[in-house]
Structure 1
Amino acid sequence: MTDILRSYTDLSPSTPRFHVSTVLQSIINALPLTFDQSTRAVLVRLLLKDLKTLSSKSRLFHKDAALALLALKTLGRVPVGSEPLTEASSLCTLLELSSSLYKEDRNASSEALKCVANTLLLYDHARVTFISKEVSGGEFCASMLEKATTPEQLFTLSRIMFLATASPSSLILSLVEDKRHGRTIIDVIAMKIDIVLSNVLGNKAFARDAMSELLKFSFNLLLHYPKLHGLASASSRRRRSLSISSNSPASMIGNSYHDVVVRTMDLLEVVFSFHFPSNSNPDSREVREAFKNVLVGSAMSADTSLDELVSPLLALCTRICMMDKTSRKRVREWIIPPNLDRSYPLDERDDFLGKCIRLLGSVYHLRLKATVGEMLYAACDCDPSILSSLIGYGHVAGFLFNKGILSAPPPPSNDPHSSQRVVNPITGTYDTMPPGGLNSHIAEMTEEEKEIEMDKLFVLFDRLDRSGAPPPDQRKTAHSTVKSKRTPK
């Protein structure tokens, strides 16, 4: 709309500030299709130019910066006409504003960073420009991330770093290997997660969003760094402070990678304990009402689900399990320790394993149910035999059925317990097997004990029938056609 453009160009240093605010507010309140491509582009360039020269002799004063940046952010939400924001000079201006305005106007500084985040989200090529030497946006925002303390700052900066590392680049090598003020980016992420975690437990605004973006940024580093490191030349590695001793991704990143694995497991423990206290049923009214109360006390949308918040963390743990054998074993032994007390049903435990098993039978949390199953499956080498042996087929029958495994898989050949005990297919607890084997065990059972075991089997069969399992005479044929799943390297 040319009227708004004309109103803005008519502004001068002598214009009353309330009138400047009115014009800027009209840009903010305008509908997305109010401006055509050329008008939007002109307004974007004018705002950038005036923001770069904030002073009492300019169209915009310092106190107008926050509203002007909000107007610029609003214009930048529509791709058509906002291309000037992708230019190196524009990105540099926004980064300079976020730094120079930080002390005197935190709100304006935050709006400048949000303009950058929106631009990187809308334009892939802007991400390349952003991390170029001309802008050095990745290094700039990494330094700001280290200084950030509030959830909103951490959310915006983590979102920018997530977008800047979406594709492999030398920035990722620099972030992981080079130290700034004695810390690598992994050390910074670990510190910020501690800060965000306390804010999450306190239901602070933007805390959960900040946690999500930090984890997504961490995922990009885990995804791209091992490949980039393998492509780097030997000479460039000599100047790096990180010592590499093997080809394993875990050893490539050394202690930093170790910290990521430990931190992920710690976060899972805390998040599950917070949302599923003790041995509570995840589908219970109490759990759902408690989460609604969390939403009320936060800045999240009322239609946000628990699945949306927790699933990305489980997906990160699954990815860690898929990356190398060492990490996979560590995660598996953390969830299912070798000395696990199996004297009572696993689904009644109040630890992380018990919560996972109860989620596998959830009706309300279908996405969480699936991601928990995938995490356990990955931790068990993507081997259904190992999964059933460690947890009990009764708990994972539905998950395995969805993968095309229609009957209980045979025990694994390398099962450390195969020569000592067998796992009850319903509860996952150990059954004491007499020397004579299964037949002797059955023969020594009383009629009452046999009826109890039959009831357990009927529960399992009923569960399979309700999940849509084919008739028994078709299961063997169908099972023989299932292709073997690829085991992670």
Structure 2
Amino acid sequence: MSNAINVKRAAVASLMDQLRADVTEKKLTPQEELAILEKLKVYGRTVAGSDAIYSSEGIIFLAEVASRPDNPDSSREALRCLANALYLDRQTVQYFIDAGYVEKASEAYKSENVDDEFLLGRILFFSTTFSKDDKLLDKWVNEHHLVENNIAAIARHATAYATAASTASSQAVSMMQTMALQDTLKLLYTLTTKLPDVSTTLGPTIPHLLSLLSSIPLQSSPLQPPTHHVLDALSNIPPTTPDSQASYFPTSDPTLHVSKILKILDKAAIPATSATSSRSTTADDFDSRAASLLKLLIEIYPPSPDVVKQLIRDTLLPSEKERSLPLGSQNSATLPARLLRLASSPTTTNTRIILQTLLFVISDEDPVKFVKNVGYGHASGYLMMRGIPIPSEALEEIAAESGEEGGSGKRINPITGQYLDDELKAMEASNVKGLEGMTDEEKEQEAEKLFVLFERLNRTGVINVENPVRTAMQEGRFEEIKSDNEDSDDDDNEAGKGKGKAKA
């Protein structure tokens, strides 16, 4: 193995020497120079044995070749060598930056040739991502038009994709153009994470990004690139300015863009199947890529017009019809049910909290509304994590008063979110006794269990609400009965306090 590496090292060094010699001797034809660079590109796909490429001198020399305007083919091949090197060895990024070639790449990035855009966009993405000097980034932006050229590239892609969508031609956008778009979007994402005042600096990209989102067909795996990269960028540019909000919510159709975003979420939100312990590919895709999509909806909701807010709530929150089953039931395939399963799944490690945050935000960040919208079982963990007290009224059985908009007046189990009538019917169908089928002694035992449970939870700080059994006793809904056997255990003493017979 070491001998093969040495042979490769010598071959790479020889090729680099031939290129250096030609700078003064000019013996190579453009075709010969291109052939040498193509060989270097192949060798440079692995670091071992490619010392002459990965050294500071090698990177600087290739950058110089890439900057020559007289032979575009050789220039692009040198850029390919550089892109491979910067990807495989981060130290080469610093060599490239220190030599001042990011400035030249930023200027050249204005090229409308998609091959140039792809290569320069990738090199600039690595340079901006791994640069440790924010002052240099400011210089690239303010003196060398990095942001300006990035926005212009995105605008060109938006026009091309819109044209393709309007003509329904799958061939209108080439594979090379799609690859160039992806690297341009990755560069934009880095800029959104590093530049100050992102809303002002990069806000002009929003209409182009939304146009792209509207034009890109909905894929079977909807969070694949370039859609994923568009969402990444949008999620980092808050719609805080009047112009950006006008782009998101056009007067002619305020729901236009949000509807597409919700369609992407609907198609992407597929939980892992309950039949197996392994996760499905789609579920993995959601957890690894959906954070930006969910964050974007969180950013969009507060400034949205009422009609858009209503659309988001209607799409993401369980409807009254869904309360015939426990909210998030495996037997329901609706988007709200799937979201609740994803939000409570131990496998969604990347998106679980942000998904719960989204549901809380569209509940107007009101814990009572949140519990009523998704059920205490789904809401309690998030509220406790945030240190938000759970008001006692959130656990009342009546969740949708008949006087409330859209309310049915039916009693709802606050834990599961299911109508109590439907819950009792399900219990009866499975031969599980409801209250109506219990003897007085069985009701007393259930009351004791419930009393002890709430007292324990209150003591541990899990919840801080009035014990509903104690409340029922105080309101006269239980009749006290004497216990013949008092146990000295604390829990049994507490249970003794709660013993009683439920009034009919």
User: How far apart are 1:427 and its partner, in Å?
Assistant: 4.0
Secondary structure of 2:461's counterpart equals helix
Give, as a single letter, the amino acid of the residue that structure 2 aligns with 1:142: I
> Are residues 1:83 and 2:94 paired?
yes
User: How far apart are 1:14 and its partner, in Å?
Assistant: 3.0
Match of 1:417 in 2: 401
Distance 2:75 2:437 in 1: 74
Relative to the length of structure 1, the TM-score reads 0.65
User: How far apart are 1:265 and its partner, in Å?
Assistant: 5.5
Match of 2:206 in 1: 186
Q: Is the 8 A contact 2:317 2:336 kept in 1?
A: yes
> Are residues 1:267 and 2:281 paired?
no
Distance 1:306 1:210 in 2: 15
Aligned to 1:479, which of 461, 471, 474? 461
Give, as a single letter, the amino acid of the residue that structure 2 aligns with 1:417: E
User: How far apart are 1:160 and its partner, in Å?
Assistant: 1.1
User: How far apart are 1:202 and its partner, in Å?
Assistant: 7.2
Q: Is the 8 A contact 1:282 1:359 kept in 2?
A: no
Alignment of 1:388-427 (within 5 A): 388-400=371-383, 409-411=392-394, 417=401, 420-427=409-416
Alignment of 1:348-427 (within 5 A): 348-400=331-383, 409-411=392-394, 417=401, 420-427=409-416
User: How far apart are 1:84 and its partner, in Å?
Assistant: 5.2
CA deviations on 1:96-115 (whole Å, 9 max, x unpaired) are 5555582xxx4454122111
> Are residues 1:111 and 2:119 paired?
yes
User: How far apart are 1:350 and its partner, in Å?
Assistant: 3.5
Give, as a single letter, the amino acid of the residue that structure 1 aligns with 2:455: D
Uncovered stretches (5+) of structure 1, i.e. residues with no partner: 56-60, 177-183, 230-243, 245-251, 293-303, 433-446, 455-460, 483-489
User: How far apart are 1:415 and its partner, in Å?
Assistant: 7.5
CA deviations on 1:154-191 (whole Å, 9 max, x unpaired) are 21111111222324546742543xxxxxxx52221111
Alignment of 1:35-434 (within 5 A): 40-55=55-70, 61-77=71-87, 78-80=89-91, 82-83=93-94, 85-86=96-97, 90-95=101-106, 97-98=108-109, 100=111, 102=113, 106-107=114-115, 109-124=117-132, 125=134, 126-132=136-142, 134-148=143-157, 149=173, 150-169=177-196, 172-173=199-200, 175-176=202-203, 184-198=204-218, 200-201=219-220, 208-222=224-238, 226=240, 253-258=244-249, 263-264=257-258, 266-274=260-268, 276=270, 282-284=273-275, 288-289=279-280, 291=282, 305-321=285-301, 331-336=312-317, 340-341=320-321, 344-345=324-325, 346-347=327-328, 348-400=331-383, 409-411=392-394, 417=401, 420-431=409-420
Summarize the Cα distance change of 1:6–1:285 in structure 2 as closer, same or farther, 3 Å threshold.
Answer: same
User: How far apart are 1:388 and its partner, in Å?
Assistant: 1.3
Moved more, 109-118 or 348-357: 348-357
Secondary structure of 2:394's counterpart equals coil
Q: Is the 8 A contact 1:423 1:430 kept in 2?
A: yes
Aligned length: 395
CA deviations on 1:425-482 (whole Å, 9 max, x unpaired) are 24424457xxxxxxxxxxxxxx95427899xxxxxx9xxx9xxxx9643311233887
Distance 1:479 1:32 in 2: 62
Quote the sequence identity (%): 13
Secondary structure of 2:78's counterpart equals helix
Relative to the length of structure 2, the TM-score reads 0.63
Q: Is the 8 A contact 1:406 1:479 kept in 2?
A: no
Q: Is the 8 A contact 1:268 1:314 kept in 2?
A: no
Distance 2:395 2:305 in 1: 18
Distance 1:216 1:41 in 2: 33
Summarize the Cα distance change of 1:131–1:96 in structure 2 as closer, same or farther, 3 Å threshold.
Answer: closer
Give, as a single letter, the amino acid of the residue that structure 2 aligns with 1:375: L
Uncovered stretches (5+) of structure 2, i.e. residues with no partner: 1-8, 158-172, 404-408, 422-431, 440-445, 465-504
Distance 1:27 1:448 in 2: 73
Distance 2:179 2:437 in 1: 56
Secondary structure of 1:424's counterpart equals coil
Q: Is the 8 A contact 2:345 2:352 kept in 1?
A: yes
User: How far apart are 1:66 and its partner, in Å?
Assistant: 3.5
Q: Is the 8 A contact 1:144 1:157 kept in 2?
A: yes
User: How far apart are 1:217 and its partner, in Å?
Assistant: 1.5
Q: Is the 8 A contact 1:314 1:371 kept in 2?
A: yes
Secondary structure of 1:185's counterpart equals helix
RMSD over equivalenced CA pairs, Å = 4.5
Which gives a bigger RCO, structure 1 or 2 (Cα 8 Å, sep 6+)? 1
Distance 2:263 2:273 in 1: 15
Give, as a single letter, the amino acid of the residue that structure 1 aligns with 2:282: F
User: How far apart are 1:336 and its partner, in Å?
Assistant: 3.1
Distance 1:44 1:281 in 2: 46
CA deviations on 1:185-221 (whole Å, 9 max, x unpaired) are 22211111134443x3378xxx723223222221222
Distance 1:261 1:10 in 2: 61
Give, as a single letter, the amino acid of the residue that structure 2 aligns with 1:310: A
User: How far apart are 1:394 and its partner, in Å?
Assistant: 3.5
CA deviations on 1:240-260 (whole Å, 9 max, x unpaired) are xxxx5xxxxxxx743224369
CA deviations on 1:396-436 (whole Å, 9 max, x unpaired) are 3454455567988423999872864442224424457xxxx
Distance 2:350 2:255 in 1: 23
Aligned to 1:14, which of 2, 11, 27? 27
Distance 1:68 1:190 in 2: 34
Distance 1:22 1:313 in 2: 42
Summarize the Cα distance change of 1:473–1:405 in structure 2 as closer, same or farther, 3 Å threshold.
Answer: farther
